[in-house]
Amino acid sequence: MENSLIPALDPAPLPGPPWLFHVLWVVTFLFHLLFVNTVLGGSLLAAFAGLARTGRREIRTLFVEVNAWAISFAITFAIAPLLFMQVLLGRFFYTATILVAWAWLGMLGLLTVAYYLNYVAKFRLRAGKSAGGVLIVEAACFVVIAGIQVTVNLLHMQPARWERVADQAWAALSDPTFVPRFLHFLLAAVAMAGALLAWVAVRRARKGGATEALSGMARFGIRAALVTTLLQLVDGFWLLLALPEDVLKAFMRGGPATMVPLTVGILAGLLLLVVLAQIADPLASPAKVRRVAELIVGAVVFMVVTRHQLRGIYLASARANEQVTVSTQWGALALFLVVFVVCVALTAYALVKAAKDRPQPGEDAA
């Protein structure tokens, strides 16, 4: 491995214990990923809503409305894991992004286009116009963004590939795990968005909505989740076997710490498949639809842990001689914790008020 190209460790000490940064990174990344899956999967399902027998317009409307929020939260929740990751692995991350600098910068342009297209689609649908073309372009932007993220992620944890990529930027895509990993990402996103679609349809049906359209939404969501979970099963094993031999061996020898999250994640996927296969009429099986959503989120939780552990194994030799010093900034850490708790509490309070507060008869609305 070409360790001489790895930038030196930042001379400043870590402003907190490494374990805390790892925990905060994984937890905040999990929330980020849930929003990202909603956005990516939702935009793909909205783009392919034409495949649904009924409820096409409702499917599109739901996802553009959800994405108006989810994109903002996906971006906002990207900040925290990005911060904590940079504290621990900044030198690997910056190098990887510089090696594919134009693509990394281009991601911003794609994100801006996709976000505004979502609003274009939203207002077109509200005005009773079609938005199929807009949604396809929006989904394409998010798919490319996902590809860039996978590329940088694979590159930052494999310094041995840096020289080749520095000579030829397209070599960034030549990693044998790129395709299965990218597919893993896309399939998980569509499965989650499908489950969300079915769950929303079930809730609306319970409140007495238009049953035919809701049935179309729910069936489309469950079918999308079923197909992608089936494919995920194949892709998951492809990804596992495509890992470099030393990484796979180290992962398998990791004992319960690595094997338990992976096994639970796979079992959650298998169970999900069983539950999905049992749903013939989603509107008639609300409990099962809810179970589908729970299993998908559960699988994502364990896969995020596995992903983090794999990164550690990939980088183990490159970081073997790392002499990290720690000088915890207790006051600043306390400031963060207080601000975070207060802001989350105020956010929850504001959202609950926004959802529940309604004017009494004779009272003005805002």
Partner 1 sequence: MDYPIWNLVFGGGVLIGIVAITHVLVSHFAIGGGFAIAFIETLAVRRRDPALRGLAKRSSLMLILVSTVFGAISGVGIWVTIGLVQPAATSALIHNYVWGWAAEWGFFILEVATALAYYATWDKVRPRTHLLIIWLYVFAAYMSLVVIQGIISFMLTPGRWLETHSFWDGIFNPSYLPGLALRTGICLFLAGAYLTLAALRETDRTARVGMVRLLAVFQIVGVLLAYGGYRWWEHVLPESVKAIFLGSKALLPALASTRYFVLWALTVYLLLSLFALAAPRLHRWPTAVAALLAAFAFFGGYERLREGSRKPFVIRDFMFSNGILVSEIPDLNQRGVLSKAVWAARENPGPEGKGIAVFRAQCASCHTLDGYLSIRKLVAPVDPDMLNGILATMREEGNEYVSGRYTDKGHVATDKLDYPLMPPLVGTDDEVEALASYLLTLRPSNVAEANHGK
User: Between residue 333 and residue 352, which ones bind partner 1 under the rule CB under 8 A?
Assistant: 333, 335-336, 339-340, 342-344, 346-347, 350-351
Selected from 43, 67, 95, 232, the binder of partner 1 by CB under 8 A is 95
Please give the residues from 302 up to 321 whose contact with partner 1 meets the rule CB under 8 A. Answer: none
CA distance 222 to 240: 26
Binders of partner 1 among residues 48 to 77 (CB under 8 A) are 68-69, 71-73, 75-77
**Of the candidates 22, 54, 86, 171, which one interacts with partner 1 according to CB under 8 A?**
86
Bridge-partner residues for 14, per DSSP? 326
Taking CB under 8 A as the rule, does residue 364 contact partner 1? yes
147 binds partner 1 (CB under 8 A): no
Interaction between residue 105 and partner 1 (CB under 8 A): yes
- Cα-atom radius of gyration of the chain, to the nearest Å? 22
Q: Which of residues 189-248 bind partner 1 (CB under 8 A)?
A: none
Q: How far is the CB of 127 from partner 1 (least distance, A)?
A: 15
CB of 212 to partner 1, least distance (A): 27
CB-based burial label for 220 (10 Å; 0-12, 13-18, 19+): buried
Query: Residue 14 gets which letter from DSSP?
Result: B
Distance from C-alpha of 327 to C-alpha of 308, rounded to nearest angstrom: 24
281 touching partner 1, by CB under 8 A: no
Give the total of residues touching partner 1 (CB under 8 A).
73
- Residue 27 touching partner 1 (CB under 8 A): no
E strand or H helix at 344, and its extent?
Answer: helix 330-356
Q: List the beta strands (DSSP E) in 214-359.
A: none
- Does 124 interact with partner 1 (rule: CB under 8 A)? no
14 makes contact with partner 1 (CB under 8 A):
yes
Q: Which residue matches tokens 């893993």? A: 184
Q: Return the sign of the alpha-carbon dihedral for residues 156, 159, 160, 165.
A: positive
